[in-house]
Amino acid sequence: MSKVLIVDDAKFMRVTLSNLLSNNGFTVVGMAENGQNALEKYKELHPDIVTLDITMPIMDGLEALKNIMEYDSEAKVVMCSAMGQQKLVVEAIELGAKDFIVKPFDEQRVIDTLKNLTS
């Protein structure tokens, strides 16, 4: 059972994703509302997967991704992006993100993406 850290500045998105993952056999070990918080939780919780929103206050997703990858080069990070953020998604993949999911979430796509990372 994979442990997931959910990072998004919108509480609604964190809860939605948490419910979706919990209902499909994942364990949500933590949530964070910005990149700074995400980095601290990553170091504390050692999740198997991180879902990371791109646009957030304090430290955005790309900055958080850089910091997480510096801390753990084996980290499995999936970026969450809104439509129209392709340029940022490409940058995230270049920085080490394993994949991305688009909001609004397609439940099956989210599950398939995360399961691919753990198989």
Q: Domain coordinates of the chain in residue numbers?
A: 3-118
For position 68, what pLDDT does the model report?
Answer: 98
Which residue stretches of the chain have pLDDT < 70?
none
Predicted confidence at residue 83, as pLDDT, reads: 76
Q: Residue 82 has what pLDDT?
A: 84
CATH of domain 3-118: 3.40.50.2300
Determine if the pTM surpasses 0.85: yes
Order the strands of the 3-7 sheet from edge to edge: 27-32, 3-7, 49-53, 77-81, 99-102
d(CA 87, CA 2): 29
Residues 65-77 have pLDDT tens digits of 999 999 999 999 9
